[in-house]
Amino acid sequence: MSFDADLNACAALVERGDPLRFRAVMAVPVAARRVLFPLYAFNVEVARAPWVTQEPMIAEMRLQWWRDVCEEIAKGGPVRRHEVATPLAQVITPGDADLLDQLVAARRWDIYKDPFEDAAHFADYLNRTSGHLTWVAARSLGAADEAVVRDAAFAAGVATWLRAIPELEAKGRIPLVDGTADGVKALAGEGLERLQNARKSRALVSKNARAALLHVGQAETTLKAALANPARVADGQLPDVAAQDQLRLAFRSLTGRW
């Protein structure tokens, strides 16, 4: 079962922009890759849109372009021709498109330098980005409990966020509501707790849907390191999960134990 030019382009985008998810997708059946690569390529395009320009208006326009794509898919009519939008429209439902539109809207935070209002605002940001993406991916592949998937996605989102802290701060953002050592430990601890809760209920996620959660397993190493020594977050000294995760990914792929 071969990929067409669009799917190959989506895979290349994910390989460059989201190597952790790329490796996870390459460990699942081809049928699942056909769903996951367009979704993850969409996420790469949306996530980088606020950062490719220093002009807020241009960044807003880039995000609006993807919101328009989501609206076209949600309405069930013709969808503009694009190497990511075209295959995306073939694998998601109108309801999925509504969730992905919320994901794009949440990314407006990335354009500006305003801090999160409070912990609830930050949690909502993670839920609409990592949470919506993972939930759409999982339910597109098979039966899954939404609360379990979102707990796992929150943990993965926190881990990714903690690894990005030095870069975000270098770009003038205020990425944490509480950037103290205690605040970092609390956030890492919450992520780890939700990951553990999700793992206790793995049985509520079908075998097919688990393909959308293989990338989640790498979060544990990051969260435990931040919890043990929160100074490593600001110093950019968290473990290189990409280098460490190859054997563990193979195990998760074989067992489904993300």
Residue range 86-105: mean pLDDT, rounded: 98
The answer, yes or no, to whether residue 1 has pLDDT greater than 70, is no
Where is the domain boundary, 68, 92, 112?
A: 112
Residues 182 and 237 in one domain: yes
- Tell whether 88 and 118 lie within a shared domain: no
Asked if residue 117 and residue 90 are part of one domain, the reply reads no
In this structure, are 69 and 125 located in the same domain? no
Rounded Cα distance, 26 and 15, in Å = 10
User: Are 107 and 119 members of one domain?
Assistant: no
The residue from 60, 81, 112 where one domain ends is: 112
Rg (CA), the chain: 18
Identify whether residues 221 and 138 lie together within a single domain. yes
Indicate whether 108 and 200 sit together in one domain: no
- Half-sphere exposure of 18 toward its Cβ, with a 13 Å CA cutoff? 27
Q: Is the pLDDT higher at 3 or at 51?
A: 51
Pair 1, 28 in one domain: yes
Confidence grade of residue 202 (pLDDT, cut at 50, 70, 90):
very high
Residue 231 pLDDT > 90, yes or no?
A: yes
In this structure, are 248 and 133 located in the same domain?
yes
pLDDT reading at 98 higher than 80: yes
Assess whether 128 and 250 both reside in one domain. Answer: yes
Domain that holds residue 191: 113-258
Report the number of distinct structural domains present in the chain: 2
Q: What global pTM score does this model have?
A: 0.95
pLDDT of the residue at 217 = 87
